Structure 1
Amino acid sequence: MHQTHMIIDGEQLSISSHNAKTIYNPADQEAVAVVSSGTRQHARLALEAAKRAFAVWSETSSEKRAEILHSAAELVRERSETMARLLTQEQGKPLKNARAEILSSADILDYYAEEGRRNIGEWLATHRGRSIVIRQPVGVAALITPWNYPVDLLSWKVGPCLAAGCTFVAKPPSRAPVAATEFLRAVHEAGLPAGAVNVVHGPGEEVGAELVENPISRKIAFTGQTETGRWIMAHAADRIKRVSLELGGNSPFIVCADTDIEKAAAACAQRAFSNMGQICISVNRVYVAEEIAEEFGELLVRQAERLRIGNGLEENVDLGPMFSREQRSRTKEHVADALNKGAELLSGGREPEGEAFDKGYFFLPTVLGGADHSMRIMREETFGPVAPVMRFKTLDEAIRLANDSNYGLAAYIYTSDITTGIRAAERLEAGGVGVNINNVMDHQMPFGGWKESGIGRELGLYGLQSFLEIKHIRLGL
């Protein structure tokens, strides 16, 4: 069985019997790894190590940082197959998707290696002198990440953090820390000074709390639940720490009558059911023009029933299990609530049958018709493979319904009229809008939410800037 160690000040900590935790595969409950579990004291030691390393790493040239980040990316690629198998076993997603996640994380490291080189200042001639504007690393960062994309979302923080000249302590998700720790071990072994990369496992209420509250950390980068984000924001305020929070979502998907219905249905299914709907930008609410709603529903059902479910390590599997019993239970509760309030079950809505599914947290991709905003599934983030469909009469109505949410991470609209698409995108209250595309993420572009979906941006130049302080130096001549 794989052993997953914490890393503090350049050293791997041994796993002792009193603090070891076993990680199980959500597909069959087989043991995957034994993981060391830390305490507040481990978090303090890691922060202190990061503080010592900051004095060295922050003074390292951008060229040298780039060289090391490129080396880290190559190490990740060399070890990608091992990491991908571990990721599938601990999280459940199909191996092909796990491979894509690991390789994407390597691409992020390469991207920020070069973005860091472009962290240049400004020289301004003024009436009585000169002004210089420079950007310097904010300091030690705490990186706290979730289980749905435990490597990719970590790389979004690690890449810009190191490129900016910051050091960090990472807390991977407690229930899926294995592949993320292997990724961080590769980064550490690429040539960074001891203490620049630290990894502490453990519960959020202990390890996470120390990372947020300890005065050493100057930046908190978090992806996870909105409730936790509120707590982090409140406690970081005590010392006016910089925070970036990527929180919950409840993404609407608008289908106009003039669109290519087959393409829209395929795109909707992919974004609603991929990773078993456990994606922050997953389609949560589908609004369809009433004149095409019946046909669209039939096409969406056809797409859902085409997907193959099984253990993520098996070949030709499109969907693995859900991550946990709790996630599946929440999904079933939302479906039951919708059906009790008048929704129609068009497909799925239950666990698949057969011995192969008995031990795992499997659930069929589900399509509901006749949805409305009285239902929890339209108001809360399900984080499961369900696409509830609601009809609309006018685009104004669809946009009003789409914006009727506390969340604003992503939104989608499908139409053959580009003017309609652009104007709708401008009116939708979300940090990212996909017009005739079901993905709002691009390594070079900003990603983040409006309203209760978060604060700050990741990816692109914007992600690097979140780890930098701006300084104005005025010269009298």
Structure 2
Amino acid sequence: MSNDRSSVRLLVAGELRDTAGQLPVVNPATGAPVGDSPLAEADLVDEAVRAAHAAFRDWAALPVPARTAYLTRFAAWVRDHVDPIARTLTAEQGKPLSESIGEVKAVATAFDYYASAAPHVLGETIPTASPTLRSTVLRQPSGVVGAIATWNYPLGILAWKLAPALAAGCTVVAKPAEQTPLSTLALAEGFVAAGFPAGVVNLVAGPGATVGAALAAHPLVRHLTFTGGTGTGKTLMRVAADTLKRLTLELGGGSPLIVAADAPLERAVADGVKRAFRNSGQLCNSVQHIYVEAAVADEFTERFVTAAATMRIGRGDAAPEPDMGPMCGEAALQHVTDLVEDARAAGATVLTGGQRLTGPEYDGGWYFPPTVLTGVTDTMRISSEEVFGPVAVITVVSSVDEAIERANAGESGLVAFLYTTDLRTATLGAERLEYGTVNINNVGGGDVPFPYAGWKQSGLGVELARDGLTAFLETKHVRVELGY
């Protein structure tokens, strides 16, 4: 794969395309240009969707082993190009290079996983009351999939959508976020190299208001899958309603971390810092609200603040590598700044961090330090809005029951974390927390073998695991009378 940014092109109907319009991309660590992405317009989105529609019948009809062989070849290509793609990802998104390398490798893992999972999707035969009546259930691909990814994990999240959709027999038109299109478009060469038939995979780039809206509204798109903000998800849902598209939405998070009095404290602190500040807090499952039982609140807070305050911040491609890079854009940084200032003005205490980093090493970039707040009340904006930045709020509670009640009171329900050494607390807590994923004494994120679902306003449907594959299959009942 070439490192020349002019080689980054769209993929439409099996062809690598340049366009007259260009989408500038900026390095969040410096504010300097990274490159330009070709910019799709609504007519090119229509061409891509129609190409996917034309390719669907033959792709869906391929025997599963033949179809999944394409996924395996693509995974091998990705593994051969990890370094240049990861460097592009760090340049446009800001995360440390080792995290970008892990994300690129996760793309190959997802494609290999769904290549191996596809043969295990089975139909069934249902017994009937008649000796001459046969009733069978088929699982068949739903059609053209429109996939829209976000900028925090642009490659990993897109792989969660593309790999199962393709394995199921669907064709796809995918759109990366406008902040981070270059690393996604770098994959176009891989799809061509893997030999995917023309129209099976299409990659188009541009703003959500044009490209995303065109995908959501197109009548030939039968399934729309999106990861991003809850507000945008609701907008896409309204647009998709006109054609009754299937929807998979993975939306806002803002996760709670509950620390019981008997928690393994050292682990809770280390894991909490990791999940609160990884990728500059720009994760849908980032720890935002920490509820600590009073008996260990002082010790936990002191350890947590010390760990946060000593994190190293800098360019993701620096050596030695920092613990945390910049935020992805000025708007994201301003949102975090506003939420912290609102809380501070209303009486919250900032224990560390709290304002944009300045100085020669940060000039031009969008750096916000790990920030810890206490004294936050339910009336402050930070209590009800997703921060999506490196900010954690510590609240002292009288019991785990109170913590669970507070954690369940919000509108999000993606991931929750509970630290305790008591089996009863862990078991009942996991059952009572109203979240699609509950982690006990760990902060693992989304991984392909395990289902990932958003409850309440954190989404619709399930990604990953076998559920992520069956999401792209329609159910068909076939009833045959043999006694004619």
Does TM-score exceed 0.5, indicating one fold? yes
Contact 1:137–1:467 (Cα < 8 Å) also in 2: yes
1:192 aligns with 196
Return the offset for 1:292.
1.1
Distance in 1, Cα, partners of 2:426 & 2:446: 18
- The within-5 A match list for 1:358-437 is 358-437=363-442
2:284 aligns with 280
In structure 1, list runs of 5 or more residues that go unmatched.
none
Return the offset for 1:341.
2.0
* 2:115 is aligned with 1:110: no
2:142 aligns with 138
Distance change in 2, residues 1:262/1:372 (3 Å): farther
Contact 2:415–2:437 (Cα < 8 Å) also in 1: yes
* 2:459 is aligned with 1:457: no
- The equivalent position to 1:58 in structure 2, one of 57, 60, 73, is 60
Distance in 2, Cα, partners of 1:21 & 1:471: 43
Contact 1:433–1:440 (Cα < 8 Å) also in 2: no
Helix, strand or coil at the partner of 2:446: coil
Superposed CA deviations along residues 80-99 of structure 1, whole A, max 9, x for unmatched, are 10100000000000000000
TM-score, with length taken from structure 1: 0.97
- The equivalent position to 1:44 in structure 2, one of 46, 71, 87, is 46
Q: 2:346 corresponds to which letter in structure 1?
A: K
Contact 1:105–1:155 (Cα < 8 Å) also in 2: yes
Helix, strand or coil at the partner of 1:383: coil
Deviates further, 434-443 or 225-234? 434-443
Distance in 2, Cα, partners of 1:133 & 1:89: 48
TM-score, with length taken from structure 2: 0.96
Contact 2:145–2:170 (Cα < 8 Å) also in 1: yes
2:355 aligns with 350
Contact 2:16–2:188 (Cα < 8 Å) also in 1: no
* 2:172 is aligned with 1:155: no
Helix, strand or coil at the partner of 2:392: strand
Superposed CA deviations along residues 201-257 of structure 1, whole A, max 9, x for unmatched, are 111111111111111100000001111111111121112110000011121111001
* 2:349 is aligned with 1:322: no
- The equivalent position to 1:69 in structure 2, one of 62, 68, 71, is 71
Q: 2:261 corresponds to which letter in structure 1?
A: A
- The within-5 A match list for 1:433-448 is 433-448=438-453
Distance in 2, Cα, partners of 1:287 & 1:122: 47
* 2:248 is aligned with 1:244: yes
- The within-5 A match list for 1:185-334 is 185-315=189-319, 316-334=321-339
Return the offset for 1:451.
0.8
Distance in 1, Cα, partners of 2:189 & 2:324: 29
Return the offset for 1:184.
4.0
Deviates further, 103-112 or 430-439? 430-439
Across the aligned residues of Structure 1 and Structure 2, the Cα RMSD in angstroms comes to: 1.2
Return the offset for 1:388.
0.8
Deviates further, 395-404 or 275-284? 395-404
Contact 1:258–1:415 (Cα < 8 Å) also in 2: yes
Helix, strand or coil at the partner of 1:104: helix
Helix, strand or coil at the partner of 2:110: helix
Return the offset for 1:328.
0.8
Distance in 2, Cα, partners of 1:285 & 1:375: 13
Helix, strand or coil at the partner of 1:342: coil
Helix, strand or coil at the partner of 1:58: helix
Contact 1:284–1:378 (Cα < 8 Å) also in 2: no
- The equivalent position to 2:32 in structure 1, one of 30, 33, 53, is 30
Identity %: 42
Contact 1:22–1:34 (Cα < 8 Å) also in 2: yes
1:20 aligns with 22
Return the offset for 1:346.
1.0
Contact 1:297–1:369 (Cα < 8 Å) also in 2: no
Contact 1:88–1:94 (Cα < 8 Å) also in 2: yes
Contact 1:407–1:453 (Cα < 8 Å) also in 2: yes
Q: Which runs of 4+ in 1 moved over 3 A?
A: none
Contact 2:23–2:206 (Cα < 8 Å) also in 1: no
Contact 1:250–1:405 (Cα < 8 Å) also in 2: no
Distance in 2, Cα, partners of 1:157 & 1:184: 16
Contact 2:9–2:188 (Cα < 8 Å) also in 1: no
Distance in 2, Cα, partners of 1:125 & 1:288: 54
Report the count of equivalent residues. 475
Contact 1:257–1:415 (Cα < 8 Å) also in 2: yes
Return the offset for 1:425.
1.1
Helix, strand or coil at the partner of 1:239: coil
Deviates further, 281-290 or 28-37? 28-37
Contact 2:250–2:453 (Cα < 8 Å) also in 1: yes
Return the offset for 1:440.
4.5
Contact 2:257–2:289 (Cα < 8 Å) also in 1: yes
Return the offset for 1:377.
1.5
Distance in 2, Cα, partners of 1:448 & 1:197: 25
* 2:474 is aligned with 1:469: yes
Distance in 1, Cα, partners of 2:19 & 2:218: 25
Distance in 2, Cα, partners of 1:230 & 1:374: 24
- The equivalent position to 2:128 in structure 1, one of 115, 119, 126, is 126
Contact 2:13–2:202 (Cα < 8 Å) also in 1: yes
Return the offset for 1:350.
2.0
Q: 2:336 corresponds to which letter in structure 1?
A: T
Distance in 2, Cα, partners of 1:354 & 1:203: 32
Return the offset for 1:423.
0.5
- The equivalent position to 2:84 in structure 1, one of 57, 63, 82, is 82
Return the offset for 1:371.
2.3
Distance in 2, Cα, partners of 1:392 & 1:185: 53
Q: 2:385 corresponds to which letter in structure 1?
A: E
